[in-house]
A and B are shown apart, each in its own frame.
Chain A
Amino acid sequence: MSHANIREFAPSDVARRRRWLTRDRLIALLMLMPSVVAIAVFVYGFIAWTGYISLTAWSGIAPDYTFVGLENYRTIFRSVRFQTDIRNTVVFTLFFLLSNLILGLVLALLVDARVKGEAIFRSIYLFPMAVSFIVTGVAWSWIFTPGNFPSDPTGINLLLDRLGLDALQSAWITDKRVLPEFRPSWARTKLGVPMAMLPVVVAATWQMSGFTMAMYLAGLRGIPEDLREAARVDGASEWQVFRRITLPMLQPVTLSAVIILGHISLKIFDLIMTMTGGGPGNATDVPGVFVYDITFNANKIAQGAAAAIVMLVMVAVLIVPYIVYNARTEVER
């Protein structure tokens, strides 16, 4: 008996349901089940569990499930350190995204220019991504440790010293300044860009810009040459071709890059831990380090959970509007 026959003779609801649950689909469902269950438990289950813990009074080794509402959130948001962390993570994410997108695009355009040895350049730019953030952090902390300059510089300051560029020496990862420093009445920390964060951005960009380049390169290769050719025939300048055709066509790549880089930067932990340890003071401290410190050093489990939920919300705030925006533009197209 073939399927066509069933459809002919029994076009009832039962049959439609049966058709929905074909063997193929059943197999597919069964095959997916283990990972669905695993993800439901180990990802969403634990997110929910963390959310629940963040509303309790658990502080110390022994669990304490006394419900305290949003008390933990109030506590961490009132603390100088967490306010500083939020400032830092916003600054880091903005600088990290901008520098990566710009550098990545520039590198991609250069590599895409059909230069000789393209594969070599591509590999060189991409290699840092293969290194772990731990290694990056340690190596760049050596580079950016200023030493007792100007008399006894180390790292990049020593290099500048040898080059006779003493004027460019700086405190790098030990720079305490926050620019432009201002402090609204509601803030317990100075707002602005912590100068010590910039070397960290440099290290992170060194690591991830190659990856951004690869993404843009794939995007560039996906743009049909005839589009640009047509524009050139119509008398468009190279800049116009880039501005009116290449850039708009790269928009989906930018979106993906923002999401991937954004969630890396909002959750950054290892790089900060090894490069600056959060210092000087808390100038490069981020929520990831805060969660670790407050949970495992101070044993304030509930506050750690609250901070982790705040991180989750921050990632959602970055990503959700982009997804919604993207979905809308997809529909319009």
Chain B
Amino acid sequence: MFGTRRWTLLAALLTLVSVILASCGAPADTGTTGNTGTTGSPAASTAAATNASPSAAASTAATTSASPSAAAGTTAGSAAAGAGKLEIFSWWTNGGEADGLNAMFEVYKQQNPGVDIVNATVAGGAGTNAKAVLQTRLAGGQPPDSWQVHAGRETLSYVDNLEPLTQFFKEQGFDKVMPQLLLDQLQINGEIYTVPVNIHRSNMLWYNPKVFQDNNLQPPKTMEEFFTAADALKAKNITPLAVGGKDGFEAAHLFESVLLATLGPEDYTKLWTGDATAWADPRVAQAIETMSRMLSYANEDRSAIGWSDAAQRVLDGKAGMTIMGDWAEGYFLSKGAKVNTDFGYAAAPGTDGVFMWLSDSFGLAKGAPHAEAARAWLAVAGSKEGQDAFNPKKGSIPARTDADKSLYDEYLQWSMEQFASNTLAPSATHGAATTNAFQQTWSNSLEVFSSNLDVEELIATLEDAIGDLSQ
């Protein structure tokens, strides 16, 4: 009797001790992994330096790093420690985006043999879930080497965690091949922090050519033409403008094109500097009125459908037009539709000659565990070869103006010409001009406006949010 009790007691004690040891052991463990990372990084740096420096020994260092001597050099002797490693964070995990990213990885691997690329991503949509995980890692002081972020002002949220890359741009010659306006709009407090991999266009009108032909309509160039066309379609019981809402950004997306049309690129761009006087412009109220009027021509069930459902309605001829970024083209193509017969494109009404851009980009983490490998990655991401590998698959255009046009389809070629010749304006809804904090209120308040059309409430909410533009 006594004996069994003692055994039970011993077992209980053992359990307790092991639990305590396990919980104490975890941080110690991460400590050693961290060490492996840092001790591993010189090896990684030599490996990554292959293409940058002429040291031919570097590549041998990478290939022989698995040898016993290299392994002995690292404390934990982890297998991955010796070989070069690059941890990036991108939510391109599906379809053309993933194909494009993999193509870019291939370019990187050719130039940096022996470097292992780890994509520590979380799948899903516009990266909301990935952002949450990234944020946790940054707050915990364990950044990936490089991560995906919308180029432009959205990067402000990460400035404390990113290395400035202005000098890097000069070294790589990116500043010579990207439009000056883009370089200006990329700057935060005088520095560029991320390398744009691609360019999407926000102010695009997509229409159904057959519906337009049947009703003798031309794609509207101005707002007046838009409303004339909308009246004609409404009379035929066709939804003039398909608008979504389920993805949370559609109304805001529509509104930024309306704002651009009403204010013009210069004053539109001023709105995002955080200057309250820019918002006092009576044309802002006028743009809200126009938006309200446009919504009266839109489908009533917009809160229940996403942007792709809206695009589908245009494709089906149930709706005449939709205003969406040029990822809509990717959607149309994926449905087997043909440009100019099944869908047509034009700049959003009143914005011809202005290219409202948004861009995905990669930055370099401050204190990146594999900084040299990450720099080599950014060099690939900004290179002609890297961008031409990525963009035709992703369905966007390169941020460089010297790309090989023959690789791109008809719309993208047109878009590349526009990008090179038009005035550029940054998108607010997609982070080129605004911070995360502002975007959230911006998208939500316009989604509310899309539902209740309450002008005063929209203005009041946006006024509250102006301060968010600078944090």
> Interface digits, A16-30 against B, CB 8 Å rule (1 contact, 0 not)?
000000010011001
Known A61-B161, A62-B161, A174-B301; further 13 A-B contacts with Cβ < 8 A: A23-B9, A27-B12, A33-B16, A145-B304, A173-B303, A173-B304, A176-B452, A279-B245, A279-B451, A281-B303, A283-B451, A296-B131, A299-B157
- The stretch of A122-130, A147-155, A158-166 in contact with B is A147-155
Within 8 A of A (CB), among B1-30: 5, 8-9, 12-13, 15-16, 19
B271 to chain A, nearest CB (A): 19
Chain A, Cβ-Cβ closest to B137? A61
How far, in whole Å, are A174 and B379 apart by their CA atoms in the complex?
Answer: 47
Please determine whether B9 and A174 come into contact, CB atoms closer than 8 angstroms.
no
Given known pairs A33-B16, A297-B439, the reply for A277 and B131 (CB within 8 Å) is no
Please determine whether B437 and A61 come into contact, CB atoms closer than 8 angstroms.
no
Please determine whether A276 and B304 come into contact, CB atoms closer than 8 angstroms.
yes
Please determine whether B304 and A61 come into contact, CB atoms closer than 8 angstroms.
no
How far, in whole Å, are A141 and B304 apart by their CA atoms in the complex?
Answer: 8
How far, in whole Å, are A168 and B12 apart by their CA atoms in the complex?
Answer: 65
Please determine whether B447 and A171 come into contact, CB atoms closer than 8 angstroms.
no
Indicate whether B305 reaches chain A with its CB closer than 8 angstroms.
yes
In the complex, chain A residues whose CB is within 8 Å of the CB of B303: 173-174, 196, 276-277, 279-281
Chain A, Cβ-Cβ closest to B248? A277
> Interface digits, B305-319 against A, CB 8 Å rule (1 contact, 0 not)?
100000000000010
Indicate whether A298 reaches chain B with its CB closer than 8 angstroms.
yes
Please determine whether A282 and B138 come into contact, CB atoms closer than 8 angstroms.
no
Instruction: Tell me the count of chain A residues lying within 8 A, CB to CB, of chain B.
Output: 47
Indicate whether A69 reaches chain B with its CB closer than 8 angstroms.
no
Indicate whether B227 reaches chain A with its CB closer than 8 angstroms.
no
In the complex, chain A residues whose CB is within 8 Å of the CB of B461: 79-80
Indicate whether B450 reaches chain A with its CB closer than 8 angstroms.
yes
Indicate whether B471 reaches chain A with its CB closer than 8 angstroms.
yes
A211 to chain B, nearest CB (A): 28
B300 to chain A, nearest CB (A): 7
**A positions within 8 Å CB-CB of B:** 23, 26-27, 30-31, 33-34, 37, 59-63, 79-81, 141, 144-148, 151-152, 171-174, 176, 188, 196, 276-283, 293-300
B234 to chain A, nearest CB (A): 12
In the complex, chain B residues whose CB is within 8 Å of the CB of A33: 16
Chain A, Cβ-Cβ closest to B440? A298
> Interface digits, B284-302 against A, CB 8 Å rule (1 contact, 0 not)?
0000000000000001111
In the complex, chain A residues whose CB is within 8 Å of the CB of B305: 145
Q: Which of B246, B448, B464 is within 8 Å of A277, CB to CB?
A: B246
Q: Which of A145, A277, A280, A299 is within 8 Å of B135, CB to CB?
A: A299
Indicate whether B237 reaches chain A with its CB closer than 8 angstroms.
yes
Indicate whether B383 reaches chain A with its CB closer than 8 angstroms.
no
How far, in whole Å, are A145 and B244 apart by their CA atoms in the complex?
Answer: 13
In the complex, chain B residues whose CB is within 8 Å of the CB of A145: 301, 304-305
Please determine whether A176 and B444 come into contact, CB atoms closer than 8 angstroms.
no
> Interface digits, B427-458 against A, CB 8 Å rule (1 contact, 0 not)?
00000000011011100100111111000010
Can you show 18 pairs from A to B with CB atoms below 8 A apart? A23-B9, A27-B12, A30-B9, A31-B15, A61-B139, A79-B464, A80-B448, A148-B301, A188-B457, A277-B248, A281-B447, A281-B452, A294-B440, A297-B131, A298-B437, A298-B440, A298-B468, A299-B157
Please determine whether A34 and B19 come into contact, CB atoms closer than 8 angstroms.
yes
